Chains A and B, each alone.
Chain A
Amino acid sequence: MNWPFFHPSPVVEIGRDESIQVQIRPDAFSAFHALEGWSGAAAASAVFLGRVRPQTLDGEPLQALELQHYPGFCERQLLQLAREQLQHHGAMRALVVHRVGTLLPGELIVLVAVEADRRGCAQRCCSDLLEALKHQAPFWKREWCSDQGTWLSGNTPL
Chain B
Amino acid sequence: MIWTLEPHQQVLAFVLRVLLFASLRDRAGWEERSIAFSEAGMTAAQVWDQLELGPLESVCVAVNQELVRADQPLRAGDELAFLPPFTGG
Contacts and interface: CB of A to CB of B under 8 A. Distances in A.
Interface of A: 50, 67-70, 72-73, 76, 98, 109-110, 130, 133-142, 151-155
Given A68-B21, A76-B65, A151-B23, A141 B87 contact: yes
B22 A68 contact: yes
A139 to B, nearest CB: 3
B87 to A, nearest CB: 4
Contacts of B89: 50, 98, 109-110, 130, 133-134, 137, 139, 155
Contacts of B86: 134-140, 155
Contact of A155 (B19, B81, B87): B87
B62 A70 contact: yes
Contact of B21 (A50, A140, A155): A140
Given A68-B22, A70-B81, A140 B88 contact: yes
A68 B20 CA distance: 11
A153 B58 CA distance: 10
B88 A153 contact: no
B26 interface: yes
A51 to B, nearest CB: 12
Contacts of A151: 22-23, 26, 84, 87
A151 to B, nearest CB: 4
- Chain A interface SS verdict (over half): mixed
Interface of B: 19, 21-23, 26, 62, 65, 81, 83-89
A130 B21 CA distance: 22
B62 to A, nearest CB: 6
B65 A141 contact: no
A30 B42 CA distance: 47
B88 A133 contact: yes
Contacts of B62: 70, 73, 138
Given A70-B81, A151-B22, A151-B26, A134 B88 contact: yes
B33 to A, nearest CB: 16
Contact of B65 (A72, A110, A134, A153): A72
25 contacts: A68-B21, A69-B88, A72-B65, A73-B65, A73-B81, A98-B89, A130-B89, A133-B88, A133-B89, A134-B87, A134-B88, A135-B86, A138-B86, A138-B88, A139-B86, A139-B88, A140-B21, A140-B22, A140-B23, A151-B26, A153-B23, A153-B84, A153-B85, A154-B85, A154-B87
